[in-house]
Amino acid sequence: MFMVLSVQDLCIARSGQVLMTDVNFELAAGQALIFKGPNGLGKTTFLRVISGLQPALSGKIHAKEDSFAYTAHADGVKPSLTVAENLQFWADIFDNQNIDTALSAFGLNDLKSRFAGLLSAGQKRRLCLARMLISNRPVWVLDEPSVSLDTASVTQLEEVIKQHLQNGGAALIVTHGHLDLGPSCKTVNLGEYKSNRAVYGDGAEAFL
């Protein structure tokens, strides 16, 4: 099976504090992993490290270059641009001229010319998720994607993710809610990787 991502002995830290150690997993094309774990475990840091936004303390992350598309709490939506303009900007960045499929996948067609500042939290979130479709990236990294979405929108999101998996994509999802993504989805409890030993890969051990 084709692996889009493999993570070996990953250790991550946030502002000098080690959060998780020895994380190992592989992600195949068409597969989704849902990560669970208590607050403060470092799930967001974990996803940021995987996406390449933050360096890992140690360990290896194997993935093709430019594999990831990332969505987090901060939605990166500009209130003074319209929905279409917001998406068009990212379409230009990712060199993808087709924003209509992304708009309709999340039911944003009617809101197209509305300023993003006037959207509700859930609508903004949908706009933010639509960016994943535009990015054309194989691995979607979703941090709490279903926050402030109503049931209908959650179903939409599930459909979009399933479609993405069917097309050979993959997804890493952190969520406290429930997402039904079918048989190709596994749940991983990140709590078992919680750091219980001191690892100071950032050179802080030099001071001891």
Partner 1 sequence: MRAVLLRDLRLAMRVGGGFGLAIMFFLIVAVLVALGVGPDVALLSDISSGILWVIALLACLLSLDRIFSLDYEDGTLDHLVIAPLPLESVVLAKATAHWLTTGLPLGLVSPLVGLMLGLPAEGYLWLVLSLALGTPALSVIGTFGAALTLGLKRGGLLLSVLILPLYVPTLIFGAEVARRGSIGIELQTPLWMLLGLSFGVVAILPFASAAVLRINLR
Partner 2 sequence: MSLWEYANPVKFLNLSGRVLPWVALLSAICLVVGLIWGFFFTPDDYRMGSTVKIIYIHVPAALMAINAWFMMLVASLIWLIRRHHVSALAAKAAAPVGLVMTLIALITGAIWGQPMWGTWWAWDPRLTSFLILFQFYIGYLALWKAIENPDSAADLTSILCIVGSVFAVLSRYAVNFWNQGLHQGASLSLDKEKNVANEFYHPLLFSIAGFVFLFLVLVLIGTRSEIRIRRASVIVARKIR
53 and 79 in contact (C-beta within 8 Å)? Answer: no
The count of residues in the chain is 208
Nearest to 194 by CA among 60, 5, 16, 17: 17
Q: Which helix (H) or strand (E) holds 71?
A: strand 68-71
Does residue 121 belong to the site contacting partner 2 (CB under 8 A)? Answer: no
Site for partner 1 in 30-49 (CB under 8 A): 48
Stretch of residues binding partner 1 (CB under 8 A), selected from 30-38, 93-101, 165-173, 188-196: 93-101
**Six token digits for residue 115:** 């300023």
In this chain, which of 12, 57, 72, 142 binds partner 1, going by CB under 8 A? 72
In this chain, which of 8, 44, 85, 154 binds partner 1, going by CB under 8 A? 85
**CB closer to partner 1, 32 vs 132:** 132
In this chain, which of 3, 38, 55, 62 binds partner 1, going by CB under 8 A? 55
- Residue 93 binds which entry of partner 1, partner 2, none, with Cβ cut-offs from 5 to 8 Å by kind? partner 1
Does residue 53 belong to the site contacting partner 2 (CB under 8 A)? Answer: no
Nearest to 129 by CA among 90, 168, 167: 90
Q: Which helix (H) or strand (E) holds 172?
A: strand 170-174
- Residue 25 binds which entry of partner 2, partner 1, none, with Cβ cut-offs from 5 to 8 Å by kind? none
Give strand ranges (E) for the chain: 3-14, 17-28, 32-36, 58-63, 68-71, 139-143, 170-174, 185-189
- Residue 110 binds which entry of partner 2, partner 1, none, with Cβ cut-offs from 5 to 8 Å by kind? none
How many Å apart are CA 39 and CA 120, to the nearest integer?
A: 26
157 and 3 in contact (C-beta within 8 Å)? Answer: no
**CB closer to partner 2, 52 vs 201:** 201
Does residue 87 belong to the site contacting partner 1 (CB under 8 A)? Answer: no
Kindly write out the interface string for residues 189-208 of this chain, putting x where it contacts partner 2 by CB under 8 A and - elsewhere: ------x--x-x-xxxxxxx
Number of residues that bind partner 1 (CB under 8 A): 27
Q: Is 107 left (phi over 0), alpha (psi -120 to 50) or beta?
A: left
Q: How far is CA 140 from the centre of its chain?
A: 5
Instruction: Using CB under 8 A, list all residues that contact partner 1.
Output: 48, 51-55, 66, 68-70, 72-78, 80-81, 85, 89-90, 92-95, 131
